């Protein structure tokens, strides 16, 4: 497959400290991916290295098969045909919206600038706003302008650095969907960086979970949630708790809640101590179950409620139930385990 972007084992960082370590990634034209991780994991530094704002100390970055970053080569950002949308929008307050969008088109004629600007305003749903100034717009509108400005020079690749983090939750979700659909319509390759899982899954065809400057797992949202490759991904993605068990066979585990059967085999010997990942949708509250627990906490979420259920050994599990069921904190309930994806890790005390 043809690759628009290839990143081969790069290192980069600050003052001799690597923030990005042995990082590999490839991106095909028209593909959208998300890079997801906690603050300080290296995802923004990686984005800036792709754009040309940060040098690499080893490895290389190629765009369209041409090296643009290596220890000896560093093509300037303006020659990479890479657009970037920043967290703080970075609009020029003294320029109106039309001038902001046209800023990256210095070689175009006045008529061509107007044509492109009008097309970009239409693309982001802001026709008629060209004469306004950034401080006259809402945060969501400013972010749309930032996307329009980045798209105006027709980049081959668009980089988005936590572009919705300054917006309220409802607007973030709506704008993320709008921007994704807009980029899909343009067949635009894009890399979206965020610490928000929902945004990552909305924006990316696939998502890479980053920790300590490395991608630990690059996969679909479904697999990151149901088939995490390691304990960090299991902890970071979604919600869940670990239940201790002991291997009875390659796909069978003895636990205090009974024997759990899995959808895949593990190579560990019988008797190996393991931790089983139980997601909230694996734990069902069932009044007829002989396994008794009590409700420690509840969080109403509209269509469903997240319950924290405590067991006699002071361990706890999470259970996600439709909100038509209304259990009280302190109430004793029965639970059953209905698990489709058996995710095991060697036990950690």
Which two structure tokens, joined as six digits, stand for 341? Answer: 């994806």
Question: What pLDDT score was predicted for residue 1?
Answer: 53
For the cut 60, the answer to whether the pLDDT of residue 119 exceeds it is yes
pLDDT tens-digit readout, 255-267: 999 999 988 899 9
Which are the contacts of 340, defined by CB distance < 8 A and separation ≥ 6?
226, 263, 282
pLDDT tens-digit readout, 70-115: 999 999 998 999 999 988 888 999 999 999 999 989 889 999 999 9
- Beta bridge mates, 307: 298, 319
Question: What pLDDT score was predicted for residue 13?
Answer: 83
Q: Are 101 and 113 in contact (CB under 8 A)?
A: no
- Our separate counts of H helices and E strands in the chain read 8, 20
Run of H or E residues at 56: none
pLDDT tens-digit readout, 189-241: 999 999 999 999 999 999 999 999 999 999 999 999 999 999 999 999 999 99
Give the DSSP letter string of 269-335. PTT-EEEEEE-GGGEEE-TT-S-EEEEEEEEE-SSEEEEEEE-TTS-EEEEEEETTS-PPTT-EEEE
Which are the contacts of 287, defined by CB distance < 8 A and separation ≥ 6?
333, 334
Q: Are 25 and 5 in contact (CB under 8 A)?
A: yes
The rounded distance, in Å, linking the Cα atoms of 242 and 224 is: 16
Q: Which of 279, 97, 85 is nearest to 191 (CA)?
A: 85
pLDDT tens-digit readout, 264-303: 899 999 999 999 999 999 999 998 999 999 999 999 999 9
With 0-12 / 13-18 / 19 or more C-beta atoms within 10 angstroms meaning exposed / middle / buried, residue 72 is exposed
The rounded distance, in Å, linking the Cα atoms of 210 and 34 is: 10
Q: State if pTM tops 0.95.
A: no
């Amino acid at each position: 497959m043809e690759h628009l972007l290839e990143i081969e084992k790069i290192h980069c960082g600050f003052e001799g400290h690597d923030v990005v370590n042995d990082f590999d990634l490839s991106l095909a034209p028209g593909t959208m991916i998300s890079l997801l991780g906690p603050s300080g994991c290296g995802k923004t530094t990686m984005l800036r290295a792709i754009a040309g704002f940060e040098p690499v100390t080893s490895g290389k970055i190629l765009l369209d098969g041409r090296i643009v970053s290596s220890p000896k080569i560093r093509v300037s950002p303006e020659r990479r045909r890479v657009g970037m949308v920043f967290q703080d929008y970075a609009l020029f307050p003294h320029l109106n919206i039309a001038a902001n969008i046209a800023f990256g088109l210095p070689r175009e004629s006045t008529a061509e600038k107007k044509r492109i600007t009008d097309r970009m305003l239409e693309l982001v749903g802001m026709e008629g706003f060209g004469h306004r100034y950034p401080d006259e717009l809402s945060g969501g509108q400013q972010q749309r302008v930032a996307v329009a400005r980045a798209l105006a020079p027709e980049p081959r690749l668009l980089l988005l650095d936590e572009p919705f983090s300054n917006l309220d939750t409802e607007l973030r979700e709506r704008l993320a969907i709008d921007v994704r659909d807009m980029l899909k319509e343009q067949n635009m390759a894009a890399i979206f960086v965020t610490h928000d899982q929902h945004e990552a899954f909305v924006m990316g065809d696939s998502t890479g979970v980053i920790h300590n400057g490395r991608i630990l797992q690059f996969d679909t949202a479904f697999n990151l949630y149901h088939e995490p490759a390691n304990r960090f991904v299991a902890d970071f993605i979604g919600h869940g708790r670990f239940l201790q068990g002991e291997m009875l066979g390659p796909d069978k585990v003895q636990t205090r809640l009974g024997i759990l059967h899995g959808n895949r085999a593990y190579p560990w010997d019988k008797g190996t101590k393991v931790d089983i990942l139980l997601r909230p949708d694996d734990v069902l509250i069932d009044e007829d179950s002989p396994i008794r627990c009590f409700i420690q906490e509840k969080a109403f979420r509209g269509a469903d409620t997240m319950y924290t259920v405590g067991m006699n050994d002071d361990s706890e599990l999470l259970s996600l139930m439709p909100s038509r069921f209304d259990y009280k904190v302190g109430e004793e309930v029965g639970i059953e385990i209905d698990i489709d994806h058996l995710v095991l890790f060697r036990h950690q005390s």
